[in-house]
Amino acid sequence: MQSLNFPTPIYNNNITMPQKANHFLFRNRRDQTPRFPTLVLAAEHDLTLEDEENKGGAVVPLPEGLRREVMPRHVAVIMDGNARWARKRGFSAASAGHEAGVRSLRELLKSCCEWGIRVLTVFAFSYDNWTRPKVEVVFLMSLFERMLKSEVDNFMRKGIRVSTIGDSSRLPESLKKLISDVEEKTRDNCRLHLIVAVSYSGKYDVTQACKSIAHKVKNGIVQLEDIDESLLEQELETNCAQYPCPDLLIRTSGELRISNFLLWQLAYTELFFAEALWPDFGKAEFIEALTSYQQRQRRYGGRHS
């Protein structure tokens, strides 16, 4: 693990707790312009956990040392190291590593559900990955399809909503239809929102947001003086989530870069780089990342007195 030790965070306890409200207050956030203070969101997060318990989805006790009041609401993961994992074990193809990586994802989903994390975004396939050998790309598309088919019933039992982000134009037609069906079937689930980035590019995400705003200006829907950060954020693909910007980014395999992933959304995200290859990333490694996150002081450019 490569990380920095930060002083214990200071939190403002003198905030007004919001009244209980429906989950996903802004289901279509593209039509909204809210900008919530971080601490108010955290308070709402605690209330939604209470709602889940009242609906029978009890949240299990946290591992020793973790605190629920400073649990990240949105965790993003760059799942790196599958091919290296396969080579280290003598497999001739990367497919064995990708298969093993699915098991790690299942374990991560389980932990997120149990510990009250609201959004999990995983970088499954970069737009730049289309340059990989065709046999590997075909396998990855097939693996994603098989995973969705095998897990959809589990998503419904666990209350997991599934969304995908990225340029879907190059995906196989069967996969595009399956994604649409799974998104529709799980759209009202609210225990955990799983966002799968497939054929995704952070640069493209910002570019398409700018194009969308430009079209609205051209058509008189938006005025030039209305353009600000909030408006652009509404056009980003992660705006399908209640908490669009990750609190914590985890990258496995010891690599120290973000690889064109969520470039705008990671502006104030805490970063954690794990040495473990993705198939070896389990509960213990996740606890280590969360513990590091909870020891940090998030200032958002300011300074605590």
| pLDDT, tens digit (0-9, with 9 covering 90-100), for 224-250 | 999 999 999 999 999 999 999 999 999
Residue 57 confidence (pLDDT): 54
Residue 26 confidence (pLDDT): 28
- Residues 6+ away with beta carbon under 8 Å from 232: 206, 209, 210, 213, 264
Q: Are 33 and 231 in contact (CB under 8 A)?
A: yes
Q: For this structure, is 205 an active site residue?
A: no
Residue 92 confidence (pLDDT): 86
Measure CA 83 to chain center: 22
- The string of DSSP letters for the chain reads -B----PPP------PPPPP--SSS-SSGGG------HHHHHHHHHHHHHHHHHTT-PPPPPPTT--GGG--SEEEEE---HHHHHHHTT-SSTHHHHHHHHHHHHHHHHHHHHHT--EEEEEEEEGGGGGS-HHHHHHHHHHHHHHHHHHHHHHHHHTEEEEEES-GGGS-HHHHHHHHHHHHHHTT--SEEEEEEEEE-HHHHHHHHHHHHHHHHHTTSS-GGG-SHHHHHHHSGGGGSSS-S-SEEEE-TT----TTSSTTTTTT-EEEE-SS-GGG--HHHHHHHHHHHHTS---TT----
Residue 47 confidence (pLDDT): 53
| Six token digits for residue 157 | 């039992």
Q: How far apart are CA 249 and CA 272, in angstroms?
A: 6
Residue corresponding to tokens 């730049």: 128
| CA proximity to 178, closest of 209, 152, 208, 158 | 152
Active-site annotation holder among 31, 51, 80, 247: 80
pLDDT (tens digit per residue) in 57-80: 556 899 999 999 999 999 999 999
Residue 194 confidence (pLDDT): 98
Residue 44 confidence (pLDDT): 52
| CA proximity to 146, closest of 80, 98, 83 | 98
Mean pLDDT by 10 residues, the chain (305 residues): 42 36 32 38 50 54 95 98 96 94 97 97 97 96 97 97 97 98 98 98 98 97 96 97 97 97 98 98 98 93 74
Residue 250 confidence (pLDDT): 98
pLDDT (tens digit per residue) in 119-153: 999 999 999 999 999 999 999 999 999 999 999 99
Q: How far apart are CA 78 and CA 21, in angstroms?
A: 32
Q: How far apart are CA 159 and CA 178, in angstroms?
A: 19
